[in-house]
A and B are shown apart, each in its own frame.
Chain A
Amino acid sequence: MISSYIGYYSLILGFILSIILLIYSIFCFKKNNKKINQNIFSILFLQFFTVVLSFISLIYSFIVSDFTNETVYNNSHTTKPLFYKITGTWGNHEGSLLLWLLVLTLFIFLFIIFSKKQPTKYRLLSVFFQQIIICGFFLFLLSTSNPFNLLFPAPKEGLGLNPILQDPALAIHPPILYLGYVGSSIIFSASLASLIQNNINSKWAKHIKKWIQTAWFFLTIGILLGSIWAYYELGWGGFWFWDPVENVSLMPWLCLTALLHTIIVLEKRQLLKSWTLILSIATFTLSMSGTFLVRSGILNSVHTFANDPARGVFILLFLFFLIILSLILFFIYQEKEATPQKKFFLVSKETSILVNNWFMMYFLSVVLIGTTYPIFLEVMVDEKISIGPPFFNKLLIPFLTFFLIFMSLGPKLNWIKDNYKNIKYSRIGLFLICILISFYLIKNTSTEILFTSILGGAALYLLLTTIREFLVNKHNISQTISHFGFSLFVLSILLNSLFSSEISANMKIGQEVIYKKEQIKFLSLETHKKENYKSVIANFEIIDKKKNSIYLYPEIRIYNQPNILTSEADIKSTIFFDKFLVINLLKGEEIFNVRYQTKQFMIWIWISTCLISIGGILGIFKRL
């Protein structure tokens, strides 16, 4: 009880500090001091501290299962293991918003510490814009989603956390993803500040690049974690479903990736200033709308635990406010291209980066349309539709081929002006060899053999180019590793989708199924009693062509609070393939629905995504 009071009042205190900061930063801005007033640091720290305090008191309420707190009551249970009591803090709407706020205040505090070399006025303005966002989130939290609502009389037992969320990967997925989302808020505030200060130059680009890389790194890892979780927990054996909830995290990622490349042009060539700004605004807007779409209940999926229209309306209004504000500022302060026109040449590094941006924008618009069109149609004509993977695959994959080719040529070009005649014939030869290799590899599988081999060839070509780059040219390791990771990513997805196979059957104990020369035997079944669930573990033996057998132990968990079944797939990973087996109850506990999959090169999808993000982190530490 007392912890809820502490949490609530420190939130209010934080809100008041936020308003003080709004006024005070403008006051300091007007005064033209050389240095930032020490008070700004103190207030920012104090604000961060109040949110931390409030967050800790919420965690405490979860740990001691204090059911006088409504959030705890709705999402926790005394029998839940301690680890999931703690992670349950941000496994719900209120707690996760408090986490947003925590990261927001943390980032602006870090920003002000790490931006000492930048102009004072610019830093003050960044604080001002960031405080507008923070203020909005405080208001949102206090008015529609207070995590510290009290219940009286206190219930004896809580409702429990959705069991599929009781999982280590999903425990850290939201905080990491939020670091990425919120990181884009700093980029947003800083861009607006530097727009007003007319401060968009190389020096600024260099400084904001670190923040872009940080946000990008966390966003990538956050999406990866969510995807790994979906792979083993949702029981379909896929890693990406083009589900709206996944798409809303992919959209800011695409935008941020475009920004990550554009900022280099700004740094090196002082070009594309307005475009950089638009991208920063768009990235943050997409992050915010992601939160809006997931949290408002418009998307029906795992993530919507509570549907409350008031919340949606608030975020939507706030979002509109921020967009309009930034657009107005953009049009007022946008620098007229008074500087002597710097020329863009057709064959140059900046053009190739611009091409990257066009591709990103195309991918983004496809995902955006595919995600929002069903919502739009339902609102307009009350027709219910869904858009499945074929739409995205059909529109994205053909362009991916060109994208890969540009990706292997682009980074080699020089700044300002290069000559296309520098592209040697040996390159074209290598490219053709790559296509032949990939044709040879996949000739027995696909129906669209020509198209797939060109795609595979392009990915292979990029792979070889980046390896060569890595060996010959060591000065841009972060880029090389990321691009290498991306080519590996495309290749492993391609091979995965071409060679994976699956069978499902309804089986009793003792039965066996033969599939593609593999014998699948259902050996036995055991039941265990666990802390907050009953576990039914099956034992399967898989005997392959060479009479080697492996054993798989898929599990069904019957949770008691709330009363939900989950299937835990058993996965045996090797470097070439994953064996994936999941079972489901059908009727009573006799016949099980068994799904057995062999997923080729699955582990390489995860490894390559890690490589992509490692490239990002190397970029941050380069020449700090």
Chain B
Amino acid sequence: MFGKKVKLRLLFLSFIFLILVLTVFLILKSLEENVVYFISPTEIKNLSEIDSKEKVRVGGMVKKDTIKLNQNEISFVITDFKNDINVIYSGAVPNLFSEEKGVVAEGYLKDRSFFNADKILAKHDENYMPPEVKEALEKNK
């Protein structure tokens, strides 16, 4: 039906197309696996089920007088003024980590009131509040 040249070209084009589709599929799939959702303490309270294997970010304010230390661990409470969540963390903290300042912690939920953080995010501005945190706090005022 087609000449040899056309056939070859069609074959080549469909090959390219196949690769493109594969690439897009690969990217989207791994996007799905590696997305980290941001949730507030109130949203955690309202979660229907807790997936302790899914990585999430929790944001809010570090509650006053809740930072406790020992040599390996730091524990504190993140609040959005409505609900609280206890965070346990061992590792380095950013410059601006202190009580009554905004914070975003990344890690895994143990249950509705305990969170194991494996990263605390650095934000470098005293007035700076991560937009997610700001919004979460404003919703509950």
Contacts and interface: CB of A to CB of B under 8 A. Distances in A.
Decide if A and B are genuine partners. Answer: yes
Interface of A: 162, 164, 234-236, 300, 302, 362, 365-366, 369-370, 373, 383-388, 390-391, 394-395, 504-507, 511, 513, 562-567, 582, 584-587, 591, 593-595
B44 interface: no
B23 A564 contact: no
B126 A562 contact: yes
A373 B106 CA distance: 19
10 A-B pairs with least C-beta separation: A595-B92, A391-B34, A384-B38, A504-B92, A385-B35, A565-B95, A504-B91, A390-B34, A386-B36, A506-B69
Contact of A164 (B26, B93, B124, B132): B124
B126 A395 contact: no
Given A366-B27, A565-B96, A584-B97, A506 B34 contact: no
A373 B92 contact: no
Given A235-B122, A362-B23, A395-B26, A582 B31 contact: no
Give the one of B91, B95, B106 with max A CB within 10 A: B95
14 contacts: A235-B95, A302-B124, A365-B23, A385-B35, A385-B36, A388-B34, A391-B31, A391-B33, A505-B71, A565-B95, A584-B94, A585-B98, A586-B67, A595-B92
A593 B67 CA distance: 13
Interface string B113-141: 00000000010111000111000000000
A278 to B, nearest CB: 16
B74 interface: yes
A559 to B, nearest CB: 10
A562 B124 CA distance: 12
B57 A584 contact: no
Interface string B80-95: 0000000000111111
B2 interface: no
A591 B73 CA distance: 12
Given A383-B37, A395-B26, A506 B124 contact: no
A563 B101 CA distance: 14
A391 B74 CA distance: 28
B46 interface: no
B60 to A, nearest CB: 13
A403 to B, nearest CB: 14
User: Of B34, B90, B91, B130, which is in contact with the most chain A CB atoms at under 10 Å from its CB?
Assistant: B34
A236 B122 contact: yes
| Prevailing SS type, chain A contact patch | mixed
Contacts of A564: 95-96, 124-126
B31 A387 contact: yes
Given A362-B23, A564-B124, 13 more contacts: A235-B92, A369-B27, A383-B37, A385-B38, A386-B35, A386-B36, A387-B36, A391-B33, A504-B91, A506-B73, A562-B126, A565-B95, A587-B98
A199 B92 CA distance: 58
B134 to A, nearest CB: 10
Among B26, B73, B122, B130, which residue has the most Cβ atoms of chain A within 10 A?
A: B122
Contacts of A383: 37
Nearest to B24: A365
Contact of A234 (B30, B106, B122): B122
Nearest to B132: A384
B48 interface: no
B67 to A, nearest CB: 6
A395 B95 contact: no
A504 B96 CA distance: 17
Given A300-B130, A593-B74, A162 B124 contact: yes
A365 B24 CA distance: 9
A91 B50 CA distance: 44
Contacts of A302: 124-125
B92 A387 contact: no
